[in-house]
Structure 1
């Protein structure tokens, strides 16, 4: 056994310098975590652990993934990183001599494919966020800041690099498979927890006869609302390429259209994770169409908005994710994340008389906005 090295006391200044260097490594190599997560998703690690009962040893995981035995030491290093960053967790072995065990945690559980749980299917989000198209846009960020676009509307770095906007009818011309992946990722993000929102905010729909889910995708949210409130007549508005793939439904009225042009009339219009994709000017235009589609407040008219509310008082990991997502939105779209002052200003600019926060759920908020 090697002799234990003596502890060397360093000055506070030297300690700060060493911590600064370690922190710089953490930031500079932060992309390695993203790439490691992408690797685990592409290999199917979360799904393999799920099929192995939620806990597995390294040899069993290597076999389940059909990897060469020679790759086991490298897989251990990958799993060790992803455990340290909270993607997976360690499990207690039955004995001190037992094998090293890895298990799923809440994060990796939403990366399990094909078991039918409404929260799963987030592999598309990981693969989109770590795609070459997203990364190229991020690598062009400094050049984008230096460009003077004059009087023309400022494109996102994504549009500047690739020539087409993201989340647009033209995105498929860049890469059809990528466009489908992004649409799947948006749907996974937007639909996570919808049952919780409907359950916790059931009174949102009390007294309503009709609602239009604007940018409602394949109708997942609308179906959840109708299951809880069968009396409601529900419209789902989205782009033609989305509506044409929507599953048939006896009650939901699917409408192919453009929310900037017209929104199907209803007592309430719902915008779920829509406005954070757009700048303030576009949001005002969208909200103006919402006003046209709804009756007066006295007749029960309102707009229901579910979106991100930036709040520094949230737990640090959630607030940091909001900041990361905000710069991500800046890089990929015309959108942004907003604090309550931003939201209030937006509603007033759009000519609404009043709003209230109905519920705060983690980093998201539910607004009722009145004409």
Structure 2
């Protein structure tokens, strides 16, 4: 409890006359309780499957750059192979991402509603169970929203929603749409893979004068961190994403893959804490 109070997870009051300490919720821990709890999302990075690889960090650092990821060295398979073949891990991952979508998308839609104005169709690429797409479709009923994900994911998609689910692979191709949405996808991949994904996105969208664009919700390192907690979060995500050979990028690194993929321009809009929206234009 001393650790948790020092880091701001709980508050503590020191009563007089030797009574027991009284602990309370803080804004951070309040996010973990109630109907809108972020517990499923927080459970993902602190689950043993992600924590255990760091026990072998010293050995991994002694390998050559081309060595398997820290996650793969520990488990003998990549994160994405495990997600495809282990139903328990897949459920943990998809529930965590759906929980995060329920939280962050309300903020994105409220503070950045203009990025969705004028769109007629949108595909949420690697959108999982469709939390983000459903939030967009609810807020903007004129936008025809779809989710593209692997067949085993779309097979478990919720029924009776106004979101269409498409089985496919973003590395093979993306169906045509006015706009493409990518939430916390590109930071999972190295530059070459990101350029391939973005090239497929560019092929799928309308021309710029018809409103075509790619909308990315991701971390931009160094993008106006307003407090020490934001800086801590940025570097901790650096450490976490390193385990799967992902990359958290600053603006220079984002610009590199954006232009290599053939886009003509981009715009970064800070949203909440360490996360920003990046609009990419063909």
Give the TM-score normalised by structure 2: 0.90
12, 25, 29: which one aligns with 1:104: 25
**8 A Cα contact 1:213 1:269, kept in partner:** yes
Whether contact under 8 Å (1:278, 1:336) holds in the other structure is yes
Residue matched to 1:14: none
Map 1:342-357 → 2, pairs under 5 A: 342-357=253-268
In structure 2, do the counterparts of structure 1 residues 283 and 141 end up closer, same or farther at CA, with 3 Å as the change threshold?
A: same
Q: How far apart in 2 are the matches of 1:256 and 1:328?
A: 28
Counterparts of 1:303 and 1:289, CA distance in 2 = 11
Aligned pairs for 1:282-301 (under 5 A) are 282-301=193-212
CA contact (8 A) 1:235 1:264 kept: no
User: How far off is 1:187 after superposition?
Assistant: 3.4
**1:87 deviation in Å?**
1.1
Task: Say if 2:150 is the partner of 1:239.
Answer: yes
Q: Distance in 1 between matches of 2:272 and 2:161?
A: 31
Q: Which residue of 2 aligns with 1:84?
A: 6
| Residue 222 in structure 1 maps to residue 133 in structure 2 | yes
CA distance in 2, matches of 1:250, 1:172: 24
State the structure with bigger RCO (CA 8 A, min sep 6), 1 or 2. Answer: 2
Relative distance call for 1:203 and 1:162 in structure 2 (3 A) is same
Contact preservation (8 Å) 1:90, 1:102: yes
Give the alignment's Cα RMSD to 1 decimal: 2.3
Q: Give, in whole Å, the separation in 2 of the partners of 1:255 and 1:172.
A: 16
Q: In the alignment, which residue of structure 1 is the partner of 2:78?
A: 165
| Distance in 1 of aligned mates of 2:84 and 2:277 | 32
Superposition pairs of residues 247-326 of structure 1, within 5 angstroms: 247-311=158-222, 314=225, 315-326=227-238
Contact 1:209 1:233 in 2 (8 A): yes
Any idea what SS the aligned residue of 1:351 has?
coil
Aligned partner of 1:43 in structure 2 is none
Query: How far off is 1:312 after superposition?
Result: 7.2
Q: Which residue among 49, 59, 63 is the counterpart of 1:143? A: 59
**Mapped contact 1:190–1:273 kept (Cα < 8 A):** no
SS at match of 2:162: coil
| One of 93, 115, 121 as aligned partner of 1:182 | 93
Correspondence for 1:38: none
**CA pair 206-96 structure 1, distance change in 2 beyond 3 A:** farther
Q: Relative to 1, partners in 2 of residues 1:304 and 1:127: Cα closer, same or farther, differing over 3 Å?
A: closer
Please, what TM-score do these two structures have when normalized by structure 1? 0.70
> Offset of 1:172 from its aligned partner?
5.8
Structure 1 pair 220/128, CA: closer, same or farther in 2 (3 Å)? closer
Question: How many Å apart are 1:234 and its aligned residue?
Answer: 0.6
Larger of the two Rg values belongs to structure: 1
- How many residues are treated as equivalent by the alignment? 281
Q: Secondary structure at the match of 2:222?
A: coil
Give the C-alpha shift of residue 211 in structure 1. 0.5
Residue 336 of structure 1 is aligned with which of 233, 242, 247?
A: 247
